[in-house]
Amino acid sequence: MKRMNQYLIMTAAALLFAACGEDEKETPQPVLPAVSVTGTYELHTGEPLSTLTLTGTATHDGKSVDGTFEWKDGSTAYEAAGQYDAPWVFTPADAVKYIPVEGTVAVTDLPNVYVCGSEFESGKEVVAKVWKNGEELYTLTNGAYDADALSLAVSGTDIYVCGYEYNSRDKPVIKVWKNGQEHYSLTDGTYYAYGYSLAVSGNDIYVCGYERNRSKAVAKVWKNDEVLYTLTNEAYNADVNSIAVSGADVYVCGYEYNSSNKPVIKVWRNDQEFYSLTDGTYNAYATSLAVSGTDIYVCGYEYNSSDKPVTKVWKNDKEYYSLTDEAYNTYASSLSVSGNDVYVCGSEFESSGNGVAKVWKNDKELYTLTNGAYDADALSLAVSGNDIYVCGYERNSSDKPVSKVWKNGKELYTLTDNGSFAKCLVLQ
């Protein structure tokens, strides 16, 4: 009997061991699927990765593996334009058979593109507006009176705009807007006044432009909501239309008429005339200024002896180069300096008789943005790395100006279907 019990115990143990061996054979180890992320990923500075939908494929032994692709941290937002390796994870639906897979994929962070200008709205006067990345961001005025947004600056999370709005007495009043709301008026509407350019330095907002008195246009600079400098003495008409702040110094460019009633291009530093760039023989107008290190660059145009406007760039107090061969009328609108390169945009009136929007790099034509079929102008540009962004307008077949943004010589998008003018572009 004892031997029989031992036999039964041994038999049972053998069966149990065999059963365990079968279970181990039938339970496969999880495997790593072959995973590939597909698509191109671009977002704008400050946008989280969660705004992008991650897609890809997962397979094993030639069969598709179900699961989900996710960013490891969807809240990640990049603070500067560039290319980044963003971590992702693939989680298989069947966690018993398959192991999660992790990796990275290139994500391009693009700068935010801000544009200000004006739009013709049905039943209203011209309305001042701001666009961000091709979409309307702010309507600054209600259309009761004509208005325009002429310059824009971004500081942190705040967006500042300067321009003008006419009052009930049909006088333009210089205004500053902050984040879509009127911040303050710089003039009281007694005389004509236009604020053309704005710069932000720390907590201070600088605007340049002119205000007429009873007989003359007087060039001025405002700091915050007060006049900082009166640059001209009211003897001759004057205007300043571009401003830059470098350290403790404020630089502006513009023009002042001389005794022969010819506008002379000038640069002011703080409240003093720094130098004249033209001698007053021919009409000349400055349109844009940039400070790079210790150098001051100005673009504009000077008429020649044949009364043709010739686009030019000045560096410090000397002419740097002419951008055109004087065959056609050319007008420079905006200038930007990036490293050792100087970029200018504007228009050239070729044989069609229409303005052709163009970009120049240093002393050579870089891009022709429009084909001359309709009148066009490039009014502002900015550079980010190897990318050049331009805003301006091109008229359509109905002769309506349509605001556009170009990137590296190609149209990126239009801002409106109505008549509109994009005046200033800024990248963040």
Confidence of residue 183 (pLDDT cuts 50, 70, 90): very high
Last residue of a domain, one of 61, 82, 110: 110
* Closest to 115 in 3D by CA, of 412, 426, 428: 426
**Confidence band (pLDDT; 50, 70, 90) for 352?**
confident
pLDDT of residue 25: 55
Q: CA distances (Å), 356 to each of 50, 269, 373, 410, 418, in order? A: 41, 34, 9, 14, 21
Helix (H) or strand (E) holding 3: helix 2-26
To the nearest whole number, what is the mean pLDDT of the chain?
93
| pLDDT-based confidence at residue 255 (cuts at 50, 70, 90) | very high
Is position 46 within any domain?
yes
**Residue 17 located in a structural domain:** no
- Whether 27 maps to a domain, the answer reads no
Cα–Cα distance for residue pair 333/390, rounded to 1 Å: 11
3-state helix/strand/coil string of 228-251? EEECCCCCCCEEEEEEEEECCEEE
Rounded Cα gap, residues 297 and 259, in angstroms: 27
Residue 82: CATH number of its domain: 2.60.40
Does the pLDDT at position 15 exceed 90?
A: no
209 and 297 inside one domain: yes
Residue 150 is assigned to a structural domain of this protein: yes
At 7 the three-state DSSP class reads helix
User: In this structure, is residue 165 part of a structural domain?
Assistant: yes
Whether residues 204 and 307 share a domain: the answer is yes
Answer whether 416's CB lies under 8 Å from 119's CB: yes
- Range 325-336 average pLDDT: 92
**Interior CA angle at 311 toward 309 and 313, to 5°?**
145
Predicted local confidence at residue 217, as pLDDT:
97
Phi/psi for 414 (5° steps) reads -100, 150
Q: Are 325 and 363 part of one and the same domain?
A: yes
Higher pLDDT, 214 or 65: 65
CATH number, domain with residue 145: 2.130.10.10
**Amino acid making up residue 181:** Q
- Range of the structural domain that residue 40 is part of: 34-110
Q: Which two tokens stand for residue 89?
A: 């994870």
> What's the number of domains the chain is made of?
2
Q: Token pair of 151, please?
A: 């310059």
Give the tokens for residue 200.
């932000």
Residue 225 lies in a domain: yes
Residue finishing a domain among 63, 91, 110 = 110
Label residue 353 left, alpha or beta by phi (over 0 means left) and psi (-120 to 50 means alpha): left
- Going by their DSSP bridges, the two strands 263-269 and 295-303 should be labelled as unpaired
Say yes or no: 174 and 286 in one domain.
Answer: yes
If asked whether residues 78 and 178 sit together in one domain, one would say: no
Binned at pLDDT 50, 70 and 90, residue 26 comes out as low
Specify the residue for token string 């937002």. 77
- Per-residue pLDDT, 28: 79
151 with 260, same domain?
A: yes
Task: Map 9-56 to HEC letters.
Answer: HHHHHHHHHHHHHHHHHHCCCCECCEEEEECCEEEECCCEHHHCCCEE
66: which 2 tokens?
């179900």
Looking at the chain, the number of H-run helices and the number of E-run strands are 1, 35
DSSP assignment, residue 112? P
Average pLDDT over residues 204-217: 96
